[in-house]
Chains A and B, each alone.
Chain A
Amino acid sequence: MLLEVDAISRRFGGLTAVSAVTFGVSEGEVVGLIGPNGAGKTTLFNVIAGALPPSAGRIRFADSDITAKKPHLICRHGLVRTFQIVRPFGSLSVVDNIVIGAFTRVRDRHTAYAAAERALEATGLARWRDALARSLPIGLRKRLEVARALATRPRLLLLDEVMNGLNPTELTEMMALIRELNAGGITILLIEHVMAAVMSLCGRIVVLHHGEKIAEASPREIARDPRVIDAYLGEAYLIE
């Protein structure tokens, strides 16, 4: 297991946002994390990436305990997250945003820019290289979020709704990008509401509801699982 989430809970005062969730992600997988709004998906991401300490439970990543470690250490360890509400460094150019990520692994400018140029190419952002990050439309900002994370050379990428709000073309491109990254050796855990994307990308899906894991199975099984249909999908989901 690359990532082991072991009985993680997170409470905010009297509210239990995540309750004893256990699952794992193996090297090379694409795993989806789905569930209705408020199910605790982003909170779980925050706990895994170190932005919030858990109230209980342990997290192991690449054979070491990363529970409640600081986000920058977890990132250097090879686990990087993107933000659901994108957070570009707005007054910097697209390439400089990515260079900042690249500098996490390298010390000199030259190598950092070379790494950033590769991430620009990989994410199809090369045309916007010198644009100010805040001038980008949402679809490109999401891609920038991925490019920046990519430049830190992650082993596991946590993608928080990078496909929401994209138009059909952008969606297709983003899905292709995720497949490419995965083929290139990066393991992926993603939160997503765009079901078509989740079903086609993920080998396995974990479903959260009211902070608890209610199912974990392949897309085909998830689509037919009555509890998941009841809690989230609404009706049996057909997989072509």
Chain B
Amino acid sequence: MTMRSFGWHRAREHLAAGALFAAALLVPLATDNLFLQDATIFILLWAGLAGAWNIAGGFAGQLSLGHAAFFGLGAYTSTLLKIHLGLSPWLGMLCGAGLVVAASGFIAFAATRLRGPYFALVTIAFAAVMQIVAARWYSFTRGNEGLSIPFDPGWANFMFAGKLPWTVIALCYVVAIYALATWIKRSRLGYQLAGMREDDDAAQALGIDTRSLKVLSIAISAFLTALGGTFYAQYVGFVDPTYVFSIDLSVKFALMCIIGGMGTALGPILGAVLITALEMGLRAKWGGGRSGLYLIVYGALLIVVVRVMPEGLVAGLPQTVRRWSARASRAA
């Protein structure tokens, strides 16, 4: 696929993204349904996080399964700074993101030495270590009891009574990441990342400093993930190591991006919409009593999606629609 020749293709992507953004903003304005409003905020948050993962995992081809480490560090940093020092979570968010950029150096170091599954294993271990530290350092983090953020609405406190401000902030997060991905794709950086992803040695032979590109892409990805971590902590009002550092979360970021389409701007958003809607819808319908049933259905549906569209929704949806319409017109 050429990156340049599909002008219409790109316009269609922007249209789809714009429609989704508008729809997300409409939800808190048009309905009082709290479940829908809550689902929208989470879809936006996950879309942003999947987009953040995409910078390292999709564009740079560094398949991290430890991004929960960055998410959790972001969530914990702003929360601890708020609780212990009374620092505004907005500043705490920046501190967390800064800290995470430093921590991402460890992952980047692994990335410059290890490839494929070995790299993924190191990232998993990294998040696991973070989880253990947060769980054991009781005096500082209150361990597995977790930390609650007192509910005290106001812009300075990054806390709101209504859903609209949350939606707007999450939307800004997603739009910024979408814009960044769109820019990367068409920039020198994007081409060099594509070369590195395809063949590291060949890219180096063509003058690409792949080591620096890995460090850079992982740092950007980690930074954005930490921002999402703080948003999550503020919105939910509670942080505990079992969830924020979990492998489930790391896999979720990767999965949404892979399902949606790696290395595309729209993919992580589509993946987040599909997976979050599935997850929340199925849990609402079949959760509770027959616990676990929804997970089986969820898993089965994911397998179907990956089988039908192995390259993700962005590439796969138009193809599938075309195939179906061709079949329909033949039948008619």
Contact = CB atoms under 8 A, between A and B. Distances in A.
Contact of B5 (A130, A132, A152): A130
Contacts of B1: 91-93, 132
B4 A113 contact: yes
Interface size class of A (residues with CB under 8 A): 35 or more
Interface string A35-55: 000000000000001010000
Interface string A146-172: 001100100000000000000000000
B319 interface: no
B199 A104 contact: no
Interface in A69-102: 70-72, 75-76, 80-81, 83, 87-93, 95-96, 99-101
B36 to A, nearest CB: 39
B191 A83 contact: no
A89 B210 contact: no
Q: Is the interface of B mostly helix, strand, loop or mixed?
A: helix
A237 interface: no
A90 B198 contact: yes
Contacts of B191: 96, 99-100, 103, 112
A88 B4 CA distance: 19
Nearest to A132: B1
Contacts of A87: 199, 201-202
A104 B206 CA distance: 7
A92 B208 contact: no
Contact of B2 (A70, A80, A130): A130
Given A92-B194, A93-B1, A96-B194, A72 B186 contact: no
Given A93-B1, A100-B195, A112 B209 contact: no
A127 interface: no
A158 to B, nearest CB: 9
Q: Is the interface of A mostly helix, strand, loop or mixed?
A: mixed
B210 to A, nearest CB: 7
Contacts of A152: 206-207
B144 to A, nearest CB: 44
Contacts of B205: 49, 51, 71-72, 75, 80-81, 83, 149
Q: Which of A80, A87, A89, A112 has the most CB of B within 10 A?
A: A89
Contacts of A80: 205-207
A103 B192 contact: yes
B121 to A, nearest CB: 25
Q: Considering the complex of A and B, which 6 residue pairs feature the smallest CB-CB distances, nearest first? A: A104-B207, A75-B207, A89-B198, A87-B202, A93-B2, A100-B195
28 contacts: A51-B205, A70-B209, A71-B201, A72-B205, A72-B206, A75-B204, A81-B205, A83-B202, A87-B201, A89-B195, A90-B198, A93-B2, A96-B3, A96-B4, A96-B191, A100-B194, A101-B206, A103-B188, A103-B191, A103-B192, A104-B208, A105-B207, A112-B188, A130-B2, A130-B5, A132-B1, A149-B206, A152-B206
